[in-house]
Structure 1
Amino acid sequence: MNNDYLNRIDNVIKYIKENSNQKLTLDILAGVSNFSKYHFTRIFTSIVGVTPVAFVNQERLQKAVYLLAETNKTILEISNQCGFESVSTFNALFKKHYGKTPRDVRNSVRENSNISLHFSNKQEEFSQLEAYNGIGRNHILKRAWENVITIKELPEYEVAYVRHVGSYLDTHVAWDKLGRWASWQGLTPNNHYFIGISLDDGNLVEEFACRYDACVTLPSGFERSGHTKHVEFKTLSGGMYAVYPYYDTIDKFVLAYQNVFSLWLPDSEYDADDRPCLEFCMNDPAKDKEGKCKVDLYIPVKKRI
């Protein structure tokens, strides 16, 4: 794996460990990594194995266990010292991960010194990975990715879209609505692109709040008036994209993203750009004999400097 990517993630991990008592937003961590804010979480998660938010919480909770066992600080003092937004947030996260309240742990931790081991030290695990140490790079796999992924330049697209808010597994409702409207306008897959856009990272946003736009490209000069009851309109940015063809069930689609960001991107000549990924839908899964979706996944990229 590209040492530059690993070094950048390592810098984030060190920053988190040294500043876990401070406010650590995704904007701050993305800035430390020098990755695109839009794609930072995917890159971090694909390499480390947990989201940046989860990693920050792990660091704070392990520090809290130590302070509970080794000091007489109050629960409020420990919560503040470890960087939690409030003592109620601290208590809730602590109980979720340990199954006990901080007070319960304080009463028992000296009798069970291994309780802090319920959380592994993710940086130690990370530093022992073959990829992290630059060992065992799989050149055959790299060549395979080079044969699968192509780089394309896209123009801007004017699109009509229907927004879905909720699970990414339930986007068919938006597609059904858009499909009916597109059919009325004579916009078919034979002459226009149908594009999905996942606007939120499911690792960061609750499933019920994830936003997804089902889009169809429009012909030049399309008259928009009279259609706003059915669809909305916007412009999709053009630019350079890495294209990965995907054919499998919808529930495995997230793995396609993870593979591109963890296996191909670090060793490529490109960095992720700060634009949404585009999912060009090439079939209707409901009509596929295997129930699979055929999607060309467009990852926005820019030449690495």
Structure 2
Amino acid sequence: MNIKVESLPAFRIAFVRQVGPYGPGNIQAMDKLKKWARERNLLTESSILLGIPQDNPETTLPENCRYDACIVISNDYQINNSICENELSGGKYVTFKVKHTAEDIQRAWTEIIPALQNNGYQIDNNPIFERYIGDMIHNDFCEICVPVTVV
């Protein structure tokens, strides 16, 4: 697993929310977002896509879990009511590059918490998210971005 520490800026995002069990519905939300972005020429080689699970499925009923499929947009891009918008806070993140398969993501999650603890980090309150940049969008890789503070 490829690990690095980054200071990320705040991002303005356009997003599609899916409510229900995590899994196939997340893929549908991301496909809907990509279609919206492609129609507006926002899906390019420099695009940054994010997948943000808003709830912990261990403490939230599956039917209430929220997942946001997002694209980073410029501050001056005009949004209409066909999509939601928000801002994602910046800060210090530890990023883990992983193959985007269910098996590899699940294995990464078992390794992330011990890796953070062994390196003196504690998870911060900002959302944890998957980030797709450049070729990652087409090559089945993503970065799991975990907000941290130093213990």
| Moved beyond 3 Å, runs of 4+ | none
| Residue from 269, 273, 280 that aligns with 2:131 | 280
Residues 213 and 273 of structure 1, relative CA distance in 2, 3 Å threshold:
same
Aligned to 2:58, the other structure's residue is in SS state coil
Corresponding position: 1:207 with 2:62: yes
Aligned residues: 147
Aligned to 1:153, the other structure's residue is in SS state strand
Q: Distance in 2 between matches of 1:166 and 1:198?
A: 11
Residues 255 and 209 of structure 1, relative CA distance in 2, 3 Å threshold:
farther
Q: Which residue is equivalent to 1:168?
A: 22
C-alpha contact 2:98 2:104 (8 A) present in aligned 1: no
Offset of residue 266 of structure 1:
1.4
Query: Is there any run of 5+ residues in structure 2 with no aligned partner, and where?
Result: none
TM-score, L = length of structure 2: 0.89
Q: Distance in 2 between matches of 1:250 and 1:167?
A: 15
TM-score, L = length of structure 1: 0.46
Aligned to 1:174, the other structure's residue is in SS state helix
Aligned to 1:220, the other structure's residue is in SS state coil
Over the matched positions of the two proteins, sequence identity in percent amounts to 27
| Residue from 245, 249, 253 that aligns with 2:105 | 253
Q: Distance in 2 between matches of 1:191 and 1:182?
A: 13
| Residue from 135, 142, 148 that aligns with 1:295 | 142
Offset of residue 174 of structure 1:
0.7
Residues 152 and 181 of structure 1, relative CA distance in 2, 3 Å threshold:
same
Report the residue type matching 1:299 in the other structure: V
Within 5 Å, give how 1:1-305 maps onto structure 2.
148-170=2-24, 171-224=26-79, 227-228=80-81, 230-250=82-102, 252-261=104-113, 263-281=114-132, 282-284=136-138, 293-304=140-151
Residues 195 and 248 of structure 1, relative CA distance in 2, 3 Å threshold:
closer
Q: Which residue is equivalent to 1:61?
A: none
Q: Distance in 2 between matches of 1:217 and 1:240?
A: 18
Report the residue type matching 1:158 in the other structure: R
Aligned to 2:59, the other structure's residue is in SS state coil
Q: Distance in 2 between matches of 1:257 and 1:242?
A: 13
Aligned to 1:212, the other structure's residue is in SS state strand
Aligned to 1:161, the other structure's residue is in SS state strand
Offset of residue 207 of structure 1:
1.9
Aligned to 1:283, the other structure's residue is in SS state helix
Offset of residue 248 of structure 1:
4.2
Q: Distance in 2 between matches of 1:213 and 1:248?
A: 17
Higher relative contact order (CA 8 A, sep 6+): 2
Partner deviation per Cα, 1:62-121 (whole Å, 9 max, x = no partner): xxxxxxxxxxxxxxxxxxxxxxxxxxxxxxxxxxxxxxxxxxxxxxxxxxxxxxxxxxxx
Residues 248 and 157 of structure 1, relative CA distance in 2, 3 Å threshold:
closer
Name whichever structure is richer in helix by fraction: 1
Q: Distance in 1 between matches of 2:64 and 2:110?
A: 21
